[in-house]
Structure 1
Amino acid sequence: MNYTENYHDWLRDAHAMEKQAESMLEKMASRLEHYPDLKARIEQHIIETRQQQQLLDEVIDRNGISNSIVKDAVSKLAAFGQAMGGMMTPDEVVKGAISGYVFEHFEIACYTSLIAAAKLAGDHDGAAVFAKILEQEKAMAEWAITHLADVTEQFMIRSDAPDTEAKK
């Protein structure tokens, strides 16, 4: 595969990744009841994620390629499986917060790579779009790690209290 083919393939991957992120974030936000700061930040990132999808769609259109329906569907299925698995654990909120942090770093790595690929493929406008998205992902990852201890402490306090739901 040449530069452009690899770049286009990874661009489709990024689109599928953002679909997966949206699904995961929506499921997590919909289940959170006792963690208002976490829920608010996730809802903010859902808005950012949808904007990122629009930006990716514009880059995809400008490059004359189509989304991968298969990749989008598989990523949504993976998000569903992850959400369902988390619902079965008594510490859902902590595992979700950790998973969210890990996923943000996966996105950071993907966009870092995509910027380099876009530049080699000659899509400097795309690289600028990915740099903007990368900053949002870094901000979300920073928020997640900064608040992970708080979420954990809140969970443990709620978990220790009798007749108090802690998991979500």
Structure 2
Amino acid sequence: MTVTHEENYLDWVRDAHAMEKQAESMLEKMADRLEHYPDLKARIEQHIEETRQQQAMVQSVIDRYDTSRSVFKDTMGKLTAMGQGMAGMMAEDEVVKGAISGYVFENIEIASYTSLIAAAGVVGDTEGARIFTEIRDQEIAMAQWCLEHLPEVTEQFMSRSATEGVEAKK
């Protein structure tokens, strides 16, 4: 059975929607737990709003093709994010590991949207290409922020963890 370009494209668009759902869940869990890292928390909360907008934008591409999003993938993404959030709560250095994981996840999103832009070009979806470029630019900005602030988060954690009676974990 041959899969058409459009079928591949729409499958990847649905994957992107599930990915954004997973991102929202992971970011919300991280933001909810952060107490002692206000800059990180503020940037994550900003990106949660961007992520919600991104979900709607990706959904608009799905809707134009009159196809349903992958409920299974959305559900699995939420379960995966919940598991990752719960695993992070156990780590003493969860803020550092979370910051590293956030940077990695942003780069996965950048790669996914870069591929979607190319696929949109192949199927002639100029509106999809525009949407995915806008989203990718937001993901690039978030990844850059994560990379630039990772040393600061790490240093804050190390300073807090070396101080008696001060919680560093979150």
Aligned position for 1:156: 158
Letter in 2 for 1:71: K
Deviations 1:110-146 (A, max 9, x none): 0000111111111111010000000000000000000
Aligned position for 1:53: 55
Aligned position for 2:121: 119
Distance in 2 of aligned mates of 1:102 and 1:51: 21
RMSD, aligned α-carbons: 0.4
Aligned position for 1:71: 73
The 5-angstrom pairing of residues 128-139 of structure 1 reads 128-139=130-141
One of 65, 89, 92 as aligned partner of 1:90: 92
Distance in 2 of aligned mates of 1:30 and 1:81: 15
- Count of paired positions: 168
Offset at residue 58 of structure 1 (A): 0.8
Offset at residue 2 of structure 1 (A): 1.2
Taking structure 1 as the reference length, what is the TM-score of the superposition?
0.99
Distance in 2 of aligned mates of 1:119 and 1:63: 15
Distance in 1 of aligned mates of 2:26 and 2:120: 27
Q: Spell out structure 1 runs of 4+ moving beyond 4 A.
A: none
Letter in 1 for 2:143: A
Q: Which runs of 5+ in 1 are unaligned?
A: none
SS in 1 for 2:69: coil
Distance in 2 of aligned mates of 1:71 and 1:127: 22
Deviations 1:9-29 (A, max 9, x none): 000000000000000000000
Aligned position for 2:146: 144
Q: Which runs of 5+ in 2 are unaligned?
A: none
Aligned position for 1:11: 13
SS in 2 for 1:101: helix
Aligned position for 1:2: 4
Distance in 2 of aligned mates of 1:48 and 1:114: 18
Distance in 2 of aligned mates of 1:102 and 1:132: 20
